[in-house]
Amino acid sequence: MQLLLNFLTRNKPTFLYGISLAFLLFLLKWLELRFLIINHAFEIYIGAIAVLFTVLGVWLAQKLTKPKIETVFVEKEIIVKKSDDFILNEAELSQTGLSKRELDVLQLMAAGYSNQEIAERLFVSLNTVKTHSSNVLEKLDVKRRTQAVEKAKRLRLIP
């Protein structure tokens, strides 16, 4: 700031001359414009009207038309951790057609019990358990009990 002032005071005459010249040029241009306005008053008036109403039109459009809304749907992925609490998939269960007893056997199979142990826990004979387990394998469309357990867990039939 101080530097600028110094600069101005040291070049005073030059600046005065420059400013005078600029003022004169501005005056000339203004006079010229006045002529233009006087000679073309009508056109300028019309132009002003045009501009004014164009602006009005734009304003009206903005005010009256419904805002253009473009809706963009973005899928937001919510990661849900597979919780430990088990909710039975009843849809899949009915899909398989497993009976209550067969589900019992399946659960014990998943717990790693042998057919004999399952029989003891369910108070039925070994043969009965074998029948049930065969039905389970067939209904789940698998060949081995390990596969049955794997599939049952995948289908949320058992925890």
Q: What is the contact surface with DNA in residues (CB under 7 A)?
A: 97, 99-102, 114-116, 122, 124-128, 130-134, 137-138, 143-145, 148
Q: From its own copies, DNA, none, which one binds at residue 18 (CB under 5 to 8 Å depending on kind)?
A: none
Query: Do 61 and 53 meet the contact criterion of CB atoms below 8 Å apart?
Result: no
Q: From its own copies, DNA, none, which one binds at residue 102 (CB under 5 to 8 Å depending on kind)?
A: DNA
Q: Residue 142: which residues within 8 A CB-CB, separation 6 or more?
A: 148, 151
Q: How far apart are CA 118 and CA 104, in angstroms?
A: 9
Residue 133: name the closest of 111, 102, 156, 155 by CA: 102
Q: Give whichever of 15 and 59 is closer to its own copies, judged by the CB atom.
A: 59
Q: Give whichever of 29 and 40 is closer to its own copies, judged by the CB atom.
A: 40
Please tell me whether residue 129 binds its own copies under the rule CB under 8 A.
Answer: no
Please identify which residue in 46, 88, 90, 141 interacts with its own copies, judged by CB under 8 A.
46
Amino acid at site 144: R
Please tell me whether residue 87 binds its own copies under the rule CB under 8 A.
Answer: no
